[in-house]
Amino acid sequence: MSHLEDDENPYLLLTPGPLSTSRSVRRAMLRDWCTWDDDYNHGIVQVIRRKLVELATSAADAENRYTSVLMQGSGTFVVESVIGSVVPPEGRLFVIANGAYGERIAKIAATLSLDCVVNRESEIQSPNLESIEARLANDPKISHVAVVHGETTTGMLNPIREIGLICKKYDRILIVDAMSTFGGVPIDVDSLHVDYIISSANKCIQGVPGFGFAITTRDRLLETKGYARSYSLDLYDQWSTMEQGQGKWRFTSPTHTVRAFAQALVELEEEGGIVARNARYVENHRRLIRGMEMLGFRCLLPADLQSPIITAFHFPDSPDFAFKSFYQQLKERGFVIYPGKVTNVDTFRIGTIGEVYPDDVDRLLTAIQEVRQAAV
């Protein structure tokens, strides 16, 4: 359903989450659920946990080797849960950062007083694989490596395949923040050597905010018992409660959000799975870039680094451009875009994920043209 038929929403969210959801996903929240009843735990939570594993890898025997943990809170809570729960007391974390979300992982590690080293790079550059490899080769104390897949700051797709190969070669554990890509970009954690992958309900799976999840192997998780530096964000404890209680969360679970997520997973299947969803996002993105360039806008990133998830554009050169008024006028026409987050350049961002279709992008481009013409 296009949002044109959706009279509950005055505008479309062209943001990287929360994003526009289908009416049927929102409608799924109208019923109340009991957190310790089988209808909920067995019927919804366990089904979600199994489906997440299926989405993460098609490896043989994945359903026995792999497992997933759901965790209350926004995406950052799950990142903090994983970082704080899986690095042993004597371990060292190596963070590859080229944007605000990579920096956030480093901040989490610092707050938790983890031993952490950071490979810091320009926000508009892909991480330097030679220096990453040299670091791992020369620092045997590094036990874990963390990197963001889709760096939402810029829209950059980081080379997790290459980083996974390096981690495998030096036998280090790889943690990937795939918050903004999981469900929208095909990723097979088993063949990519990703040990922990993290995402949340309100991004490419197109659910509503309230919880996130990590997918890993049972063997990995079993090694981490007792490592957690936080009580409520203890990943191992949450997992063992979910395993033993067959879908039981340790503390109050966001039942309505979880039910909406179950519906969002059904709709992902109906669309044709991650491959089909990715094709829609790629088409949204392709039309956006082509149209914006025709209107005189320039992308921040070169095409080969760019994801189909969100795109950063330079402010136009014209002195009359004011982001606030541009934003406001687009909102009045039914589109909410996103401010920039790059440190040294004036940019704004447009997301192409969520319940957003190519003809929505065409209508957006028409609205942008109108707003720009009115400005001159």
Ligand X SMILES: *Cc1c(COP(=O)(O)O)cnc(C)c1O
Residues that bind ligand X (CB under 6 A): 16-17, 74-76, 101, 148, 150, 152, 177, 179-180, 200
Query: Based on CB atoms, which residue is closest to ligand X, 62 or 157?
Result: 157
The CB-of-337 to ligand X minimum distance in angstroms stands at 16
Query: Based on CB atoms, which residue is closest to ligand X, 46 or 199?
Result: 199
The CB-of-138 to ligand X minimum distance in angstroms stands at 28
Query: Based on CB atoms, which residue is closest to ligand X, 17 or 127?
Result: 17
**Coil, strand or helix: which one is 96?**
strand
Query: Based on CB atoms, which residue is closest to ligand X, 175 or 288?
Result: 175
The CB-of-150 to ligand X minimum distance in angstroms stands at 6
- Let me know: does 86 contact 112? Beta carbons within 8 Å: no
Token digits of residue 201: 């309900």
Buried b (16+ CB within 10 A) or exposed e, 64-89: ebbbbbbbbbbbbbbbbbbbbbbbee
The CB-of-355 to ligand X minimum distance in angstroms stands at 17
Closest CA to 83 of 72, 73, 94: 94
Query: Based on CB atoms, which residue is closest to ligand X, 57 or 152?
Result: 152
Question: Which is it for the CA torsion 341, 158, 168, 49, positive or negative?
Answer: positive
Query: Based on CB atoms, which residue is closest to ligand X, 180 or 224?
Result: 180
Going by the DSSP 8-state scheme, the letter that residue 253 receives in this structure is: -
- Distance between CA 154 and CA 172 in Å, rounded? 27
Distance of CA 74 to the CA centre of its chain: 11
**Distance (Å) of CA 257 to CA 18, 66, 179, 190, 307:** 12, 24, 17, 28, 27
Token digits of residue 96: 């590859």
The CB-of-75 to ligand X minimum distance in angstroms stands at 3
The CB-of-300 to ligand X minimum distance in angstroms stands at 16
- Residues whose CB is less than 8 angstroms from the CB of residue 362 and which lie 6 or more positions away in sequence, other chains included: 287, 291
The CB-of-67 to ligand X minimum distance in angstroms stands at 22
- Let me know: does 62 contact 53? Beta carbons within 8 Å: yes
The CB-of-48 to ligand X minimum distance in angstroms stands at 18
Query: Based on CB atoms, which residue is closest to ligand X, 156 or 242?
Result: 156
- Residues whose CB is less than 8 angstroms from the CB of residue 279 and which lie 6 or more positions away in sequence, other chains included: none
The CB-of-310 to ligand X minimum distance in angstroms stands at 8
Query: Based on CB atoms, which residue is closest to ligand X, 62 or 106?
Result: 106
If one counts every other C-beta atom within 10 angstroms of the C-beta of residue 8, the result is: 8
What residue type is assigned to position 315 of the chain? F
Query: Based on CB atoms, which residue is closest to ligand X, 68 or 200?
Result: 200
- Distance between CA 17 and CA 309 in Å, rounded? 11
